[in-house]
Amino acid sequence: MSEVINKTVDEATQVAIMDQCPTADVPARSPLAHQDQSSKVAPQNPGVFLWEDALKTHLVLRGDANNADFRQGIEAATGLDLPEALQSTQSDDWALGWIAPDEWLLTGPGDQAFAMETTLRKHLSGHYAVINVSGGQTLVRLAGPEARSVLMKSCPYDVHDRNFPIGKIVNTVLAKSQATIRRLGENDWELVVRRSFADYIWRWLMDASGEYGLHLGQPDAATAARQSNPSRANPVEG
Amino acid sequence: MFYIYCPYCGEHREEEEFHPKGQAHLARPENPDECTDEEWGNYLYFRDNPRGIHHEIWVHAIGCRKFFNVTRDTQTYEIKESYRMGATPEVTHANDPLS
């Protein structure tokens, strides 16, 4: 038994990595593909924008945060610092969020899952794990001046500025399910939801956003610029 | 509702994110093949039901998914402390000022 354990193993041959999307014509459907994701009649001054960031790469990284080799390996492969508890780091394409003391979630462009996984395995060694969970979850984006009000209705976690600054990531209860909530900007939130709960959470968010004026789809450039300087007073501020 | 401090997240969270997992600090008999039926039975089935200080395991199920220990007063429901696995509780029945 001990002979087997002590034998030097070639890690490259021990791990089977599969390119789950080898060519662009492999059919893929997001868990929200059946939902109508664009407003036919958009409200005049929408308070909430809701859209899906579909078919992205989701990689779960496990390892020891106190291991310098692991930290440096992640940094070399992704260009991102390993975030501290409840924090996230972000580059143009990739985002790395803290999930647990030994677990992180890396999200990025959908067609680069295999390339990133290969790069990570090249830079990491020892006791670690890289798991492609792209098919198991999806990203739902919530934006607009009333996006926080929708979250306040939907989850027990305190989403006030003083407790939830930009860049923070929290795994918590959302509606009667759960979600990983990350704050990208003043009025910009990202939810990681399980595939099987995506439909439920999408419908919940549509219902909860109704009273604020819901626009399904991303805000256009002009709207985004106007809303980055919100003139509307927020009653829950302060 | 409890408002529980998760020692791994470093924050208080609502009780609905957690699950209780029973009494903490149960030592498994070191050699199950050689212990008596009574020792094994006590380990497997018998639990304390104290009035006052109780150490219990909780898991941050909808969160960081880590297990940790909580010291709770079963009379007042007050949570005295939460501490990581492997740590020693600071509040025990012996040094509880109210017991």
Please indicate, yes or no, if residue B94 is contained in any of the structural domains.
no
pLDDT averaged over every residue in chain A:
88
Sheet holding A48-53, edge to edge: A169-174, A177-185, A188-194, A137-143, A48-53, A214-216
The listed CATH number (3.40.630.30, 3.40.50.720, 3.30.1360.120, 3.30.460.80) that belongs to domain A36-225 = 3.30.1360.120
User: CB neighbours (10 Å) of residue B73?
Assistant: 18
* Strand pairing category for A188-194 and A177-185: antiparallel
CATH code where residue B21 lies? 3.30.2270.10
DSSP one-letter code for B17: G
Please report the pLDDT score of residue A8 as a whole number.
Answer: 45
Nearest Cβ partner for A172 among B8, B10, B62: B62
Residue for token digits 């739902």?
Answer: A140
Length of chain B: 99
Domain ranges of chain A: 36-225
Please indicate, yes or no, if residue B93 is contained in any of the structural domains.
no
Are A105 and A96 spatial neighbours (Cβ–Cβ below 8 Å)? yes
Lowest mean pLDDT among A92-101, A136-145, A217-226, B82-91: A217-226
pLDDT at A9 over 60: no
Residues of A with Cβ-Cβ distance to B10 under 8 angstroms: 85-86
Nearest Cβ partner for B8 among A101, A157, A173: A101
Question: Tokens standing for A148?
Answer: 């926080």
Please indicate, yes or no, if residue B18 is contained in any of the structural domains.
yes
Cβ neighbours for B29, distance < 8 A, ≥ 6 positions apart: B35, B39, B40, B43
Please indicate, yes or no, if residue B55 is contained in any of the structural domains.
yes
Cβ pair A99:B64 closer than 8 A? yes
State how far the Cα of A83 lies from the Cα of A98, in Å rounded to an integer: 6
pLDDT at A226 over 70: no
State how far the Cα of A117 lies from the Cα of B71, in Å rounded to an integer: 42
Question: Tokens standing for A87?
Answer: 């924090």
Task: For residues A164-170, give the mean pLDDT.
Answer: 97
Cβ pair A173:B66 closer than 8 A? no
Q: Determine the 3-state secondary structure of A198 from DSSP.
A: helix
The pLDDT tens digits of the residues spanning B22-78 come to 999 999 999 999 999 999 999 999 999 999 999 999 999 999 999 999 999 999 999
Confidence of residue A44 (pLDDT cuts 50, 70, 90): confident
Among the listed residues A125, A79, A156, the one whose alpha carbon sits nearest the alpha carbon of residue B3: A156
Residue B59, chain A, CB below 8 Å: the answer is no
Please report the pLDDT score of residue B98 as a whole number.
Answer: 60
Count of the separate structural domains present in chain B: 1
Please report the pLDDT score of residue A49 as a whole number.
Answer: 95
Please indicate, yes or no, if residue B91 is contained in any of the structural domains.
no
Task: For residues B74-83, give the mean pLDDT.
Answer: 95
> Which domain does B74 fall in, by range?
3-29+36-84
Please indicate, yes or no, if residue B99 is contained in any of the structural domains.
no
Please indicate, yes or no, if residue B90 is contained in any of the structural domains.
no
**Alpha carbon distances (Å) from B21 to A190, A214, B33, B59, B67:** 32, 42, 26, 7, 9
